[in-house]
Amino acid sequence: MQVFFRSVLAAAFLAVVLLSQPAQAEESVDFNTLDFYFYGDLDNGNGNISTVHPISDTDTQSDCPQSANRLSWPGQDRQWETVGSWVTEFQTPGEVASGDYTFTIWANSTQGTVEDVQFRISVSIGGSAADAVETSQSKTVTDSSEAATRFDINFDVTNASFSTGSDFTIDLEYSGGEEGENPLTGGSSTEQIVVLTSSMQHPSGVSNMSVNHYSAWFSEITVEEFSERVYVKTTVASGFGNGDIDSSEWTLGVYGKSSGNQGLTADFNMKSAQNDTYEVSFYWYYNQDNAISDTYNFYIQIMDIQGNPWEVISDEDLYLVIHGFEIDNYLTSEDVKINNQTGNSKVTVGSSFTIDVTISVQGDPLVKYNPIPVSIVLVDGTSEIILYETAVFANPGATAQLSFRYTFDKEGEYKIKVVIDRNNVVVESDEFNNISEFTLQVEEADEDNAVQSFIDDITGGGATTLVVLLAVSLLLAFAYLRRAAEPDFEWEEDDEF
């Protein structure tokens, strides 16, 4: 019986990358239909927008300006005055899908009757400019009515996007249609119209808006080989804050690039609220899941308070290797080329060049999955600066190639190392053939290599340089031959035969 052992190769390599630089937020690509609700008294300037459905039996009343109850005098034109604004600050970047949406409010009269009442909205998503300005139909609002009067306003949104810290703002204006009177003889209007929000009976807001707004940071992915598990910590954010997240629903899924989504999930560990985000952690027991050798990615699934699912996928690769066979990844000085040339140690300041690397593999042919972590490192005194880090794949008997393009802005000598398995997480039969280093001379451009510098700027060096040089040589030769075929004298006007 063959004994297999399971280990996660290059996982520590990835963990170093994750821990040594800030994790970037991954964004969900999901769009879901949301209902937004208005809260706060506009009279006090604290109107806000939320995805939380009202649960109160009591309305919030915001007064409409009495000076806008009547038409102007003597022109009898509508007078528009501001009621207030509902505003929320986005906690993540996102988008609102193009479409037709509906704004709804209820209005009532606490005193008197106003005919031909209209409301006008200005909707701004993620910027100062209005994305839509629309006006409601006209309706009479009276204090003798037992029910509040509903106003619906349809508005269009086209390609609206928002960034973290930008606002979703809806400005509300009011205008009554009572006949205008001379203020000296007719006095001021005493009728009072109010807008009703924030209650179960009057859930004013915007309905069925298609929005994309969830993000997650996979801030820590650590392999705990002794426990045969992977620790994953994520930070989840909604564009509308923690109140939009159903904190009882968390799923961390795992899928392989070759094996696909087999329904593998991690065990929930713990959660905590952090300002406007949730921090959630999991353990994935890869041995218990009988995971095969593959490149894996994690994704987190979140549920919002309106029952919509959201999924955010990590870009970080995890390489799970399952074999007990001998393997050796190696390179020599001949396997590292500058601009596709061995022995070339000179480049020009400000010109791009490529480092081309070939990695060879030897070992048991039964190995069918062999990820190889590779780092290109600049040695600066006693410190090392990682210029490039990746993983390539090759099985025993094969090779893997990679190219890295770089530019130095200052002249001088630079020591560069190409390192296989820099963090020594791959168990190899020979651990002493994983490094190739060289000193690169970076010089100022001169006339002799000006053409080559120009070509390198365009092509980045490498094999393409040879093709371009050949093409330039052929063009120059053609021009020379054509010129040589022409007569080298000119007719003079007074030449005679």
Residue 171 sits in the same domain as residue 43 = yes
Residue 195 sits in the same domain as residue 232 = no
State the residue range of the domain holding 428: 330-459
Residue 488 within any structural domain of the chain: no
Residue 280 sits in the same domain as residue 155 = no
Q: What is the DSSP code string of 133-158? A: EEEPPPEEEETT-SSPEEEEEEEEE-
Average pLDDT over the chain, rounded to an integer? 87
Share of the chain above pLDDT 90, in %: 69
Residue 283 within any structural domain of the chain: yes
CATH number at residue 308: 2.60.40
Residue 482 within any structural domain of the chain: no
Give the range among 309-318, 330-339, 353-362, 422-431 with minimum mean pLDDT: 422-431
Name residues whose C-beta falls within 8 Å of residue 371's C-beta, 6 or more positions apart in sequence.
Answer: 9, 10, 295, 319, 321, 391, 392, 393
Residue 304 sits in the same domain as residue 342 = no
pLDDT at position 447 is 58
pLDDT in tens, 190-204: 999 999 999 999 999
176, pLDDT greater than 80: yes
pLDDT in tens, 3-46: 333 445 444 333 323 333 345 789 999 999 999 999 999 999 99
Rounded to two decimals, the pTM is: 0.75
Q: Return the bridge partners of 14, or none.
A: none
Q: Which of 75, 73, 153 minimizes the C-alpha distance to 107?
A: 153
pLDDT at position 454 is 52
CATH number at residue 448: 2.60.40.10
Residue 206 sits in the same domain as residue 306 = no
Average pLDDT over residues 490-497: 44
pLDDT at position 457 is 53
Q: To which H or E segment does residue 71 belong? A: none
420, pLDDT greater than 80: yes
pLDDT in tens, 33-45: 999 999 999 999 9
pLDDT at position 127 is 87
444, pLDDT greater than 70: yes
Q: How many CA atoms lie within 13 A of 249 on its CB side?
A: 14
Residue 473 within any structural domain of the chain: no
Residue 491 within any structural domain of the chain: no
Distance CA(112)–CA(144), nearest Å, equals 8
Residue 166 sits in the same domain as residue 48 = yes
Residue 203 sits in the same domain as residue 132 = yes
How many independent structural domains does the chain possess?
3
Of 322, 348, 371, which residue is a domain's last? Answer: 322
